[in-house]
Structure 1
């Protein structure tokens, strides 16, 4: 079991970052393994991801997840049903200037591959930063 957290400064106003992250259809732009995300039925999201299992050929898999947008506090909560109890939160907080903010990701999973999870968190944060900063240019 593990709890993980990481943060990054993003050079856009907090409201802009939160609006971008609140639209789950943007997920595939900063999560490299995701091919598509389609919201439906309230907080449910159907996601398609490209996976590379150790014991099987590469493949696209589709599954259900949930994402809840918490306007007060600029947070998103998400989770994926299954044996790994995978869920977490994104928090958008103030930065040192009005045109920057701080993004923090908290993740809980029953997976024990800590280094791989840290790498995935870092990759997601850098992907979000790049995607949203590029939309501001």
Structure 2
């Protein structure tokens, strides 16, 4: 078993970064190794807004993900108030992780990704590539001021 963590700063306000990364309908466009992600059930009522759940309660969604050409069942928990997205996938590698968006300064965020797996792959290198790709994608696609 191994735990891995990597962080980067991103020149985007935390609320904007969080909105992009917590939008499950568009998450695959931000994470390079994630080919597709589809909900396998209706959007839960707790996803309708903070008034529909307890403070800091996760919105749990079961998903089907495509990674490297293979489909896997998984889950995602989104905790809006804490800007935390946790995930896991079924399979032999006990793979799960979380991403956290933190405030650094006006217009700057810190993105941290933690992964737990028993896979023997080069996870640290993949985390760095993932963070670099997210940073480039998000900074490049910022809304422009009118």
Fold match (TM-score > 0.5):
yes
Give 2:63's match in structure 1, choosing from 31, 38, 45: 45
- Structure 2 SS opposite 1:93: strand
Q: 2:22 matched to which residue of 1?
A: 22
Q: How far apart are the structure 1 equivalents of 2:19 and 2:139?
A: 13
2:67 paired with 1:61: no
TM-score normalised per structure 1 = 0.83
Give 2:87's match in structure 1, choosing from 68, 73, 78: 78
- Structure 1 SS opposite 2:26: helix
1:18-73 CA deviation, whole Å, 9 max, x = no partner?
111101233322333332111232511211222xxxxxxxxx21111111101121
Q: How far apart are the structure 1 equivalents of 2:82 and 2:28?
A: 24
For structure 1, which runs of at least 5 residues remain unmatched after alignment? 51-59
For structure 2, which runs of at least 5 residues remain unmatched after alignment? 45-60
Q: How many residues align?
A: 125
Q: How far apart are the structure 2 equivalents of 1:81 and 1:63?
A: 6
Q: 1:122 matched to which residue of 2?
A: 128
2:103 paired with 1:94: yes
Contact map agreement 2:79 2:85 (CA 8 A) in 1: yes
Contact map agreement 1:17 1:132 (CA 8 A) in 2: yes
Contact map agreement 1:3 1:109 (CA 8 A) in 2: yes
* Structure 1 pair 33–93 and aligned structure 2 pair: CA distance change class (3 A): closer
Contact map agreement 1:25 1:36 (CA 8 A) in 2: no
Contact map agreement 2:7 2:111 (CA 8 A) in 1: yes
Contact map agreement 1:38 1:45 (CA 8 A) in 2: yes
